[in-house]
Chains A and B, each alone.
Chain A
Amino acid sequence: MTAVELIREGLSQKEVAKILEMDRSTVSHYLNGRNLSWNSIEVAEIITKFCPKDFLTLTYALLNNSEKTRIIVKTCSKKKFQAEIEESCIGCGLCADTCLMNAIVLDDLKAHIDSNWCNGCLMCSDVCPTNSIKILEVENGS
């Protein structure tokens, strides 16, 4: 499914294969509907509709690869989020260490969240000791 989305975004099969670390011919087979397991596609579709946190953690658990997880979750999440960090942030970096999407960096003792990469899992605001992170859903993707 990620492959389909990436192709839709205008990437070539070769690029898709490289990003997902797959064989190019496998990508091609999938995209042309050959050797497809419709059951697995169904399962994948259900997973993408999980709540963002479950989608992200399940994908990460299945792949055990943070780069691939980030790409897949970013590509298949239709929701958009906007993150706001309040002034009470102490720059402890716990959110940055927690974020599986690597969307958070620290600058001048304050966290900054790249909304492009945020998938709204809210794990950062769960760990934040000062309750400084507000994640807003700005597009629900439907």
Chain B
Amino acid sequence: MVVNTKEVAEKDMNVKRSSDEENRELSYKDEICVGCGICENICPVDAIELGDTGAIIRTDADVSKITIDEDKCVLCGMCSVACPADALDFKIDDESIIEMDEYPHLIKSAEIDDDTCVFCKACETACPREAITIARNLPERSKLVTGEIEIDKDTCISCGICEEMCPADAIVMEHHSPTSVDPTVSADIEVDKEKCVYCLICRKSCPVDAIKAVCRSCSYGDYDLKPEDAETEGSSFIDEEACINCGWCEEICPVDAAAVKKSFKGELNIDQDKCTVCGACVDICPCNVLSFPQPSESGDIPEKVFKDEKFCIYCGACEKVCPVEAIDVKRTDVDYTPTKSSSWKSKMESLKS
């Protein structure tokens, strides 16, 4: 008799079946799960049940969004193939079926071309899943300006005005209280040439004209400065586990360095009359598609829930969570890699609604 085993670790779980032939293992990570319930729909043996996602998400309850009945699960792997968030991973003999060509896979990706990227970090800020990290090395400030500066220490009265005024904190004085031996208020004054941007504010504000400074950036910049020194270098990283391929990065990128492929096409419709403005959909949407609009002027009554459909992945989590069935998510197209199995093909097609 072949028996499945289940391991539960906090909200995650693993279902396993071992035999002489092969070891099959389905792992679920609750942190990645978006609560869309596609796994529940595609499971051929009704082994997966979507929990009360609205309550779970809004109360941060210590419950998994889905439960897998290990007695019903036959470890076919369909749920993992259909999961738009890759929260379910299915392995045969320790190899994920994502690597296996005979299984179909949803075609989805998100990429940032580092050669085009200007490392502005807009995508990092916009990403609703915090999946993007942009690491950047800024150019050295001293290599972007050119000029000369000198302080005549004999003329300087150590008033500290230049130190206070310097926007680049490039002037440092050694303040001390005067004594009979040394009746000055500062032992020394120095300009840090690495920090100075030759803005000349010190020179202009010096009450005794002790500072000689000139900025050459405009007149001699072409000779003194190298354009390559002004470049910001960096690299982008997308955490594939967290990425949901919503397209925010692609939309917000000012230089078209981000490209996102989505596996589902469809329609998202909200019945504003039915909506009770409970906000469950806004809370569960993994793509920040839904929001409550602010009235543009006083007295104006905006629609109850606003949708920005270009970021929608048509996972249907909002439809499932809506307590009054005000949301309808239709999937009209599912993009997946070919498979020879007709049962798998029809299951993948069944994702269309």
Contact = CB atoms under 8 A, between A and B. Distances in A.
Contacts of B344: 90-91, 109
Contact of B2 (A88, A94, A109): A94
Given A87-B343, A97-B2, A98-B2, A108 B102 contact: yes
A11 interface: no
B19 to A, nearest CB: 4
B20 interface: yes
A68 interface: no
Interface stretch (B72-80, B126-134, B145-153, B189-197): B72-80
B341 interface: yes
Interface residues of A, number: 20
B341 A109 contact: yes
Contacts of A64: none
A129 B44 contact: yes
A94 B340 CA distance: 19
Contacts of B22: 93, 96-97
Secondary structure type dominating chain A contacts: loop
A95 to B, nearest CB: 10
Nearest to B101: A108
A66 interface: yes
Q: Is the interface of B mostly helix, strand, loop or mixed?
A: loop
Contacts of A127: 2
A130 B45 CA distance: 8
A92 B2 contact: no
A125 B22 CA distance: 19
Nearest to B341: A109
Interface string A81-116: 000000111111110111000100000111000000
Contacts of A108: 102, 339-341
Interface residues of B, number: 23
Given A66-B20, A108-B102, A130-B44, A93 B75 contact: yes
B143 interface: no
B347 interface: yes
A92 B347 CA distance: 14
B342 interface: yes
Interface in A52-99: 66, 87-94, 96-98
Nearest to B339: A109
Given A96-B21, A109-B339, A90 B2 contact: no
A92 B341 contact: no
Contact of A91 (B19, B21, B45, B76): B76
A97 B19 contact: yes
B24 interface: yes
Contact of A92 (B76, B102, B103): B76
Contact of B74 (A88, A92, A102, A109): A92
Contacts of B44: 90, 129-130
B6 interface: no
24 contacts: A90-B76, A90-B341, A90-B347, A91-B344, A92-B74, A92-B75, A92-B76, A92-B77, A93-B21, A93-B22, A93-B24, A93-B76, A94-B74, A94-B75, A96-B22, A97-B2, A97-B19, A108-B102, A108-B341, A109-B103, A109-B344, A127-B2, A129-B44, A130-B44
Interface of A: 66, 87-94, 96-98, 102, 108-110, 127, 129-130, 132
Given A97-B19, A110-B340, A130-B343, 14 more contacts: A88-B343, A91-B341, A91-B344, A92-B77, A93-B21, A93-B24, A94-B75, A96-B22, A97-B21, A108-B341, A109-B343, A109-B344, A110-B341, A130-B44
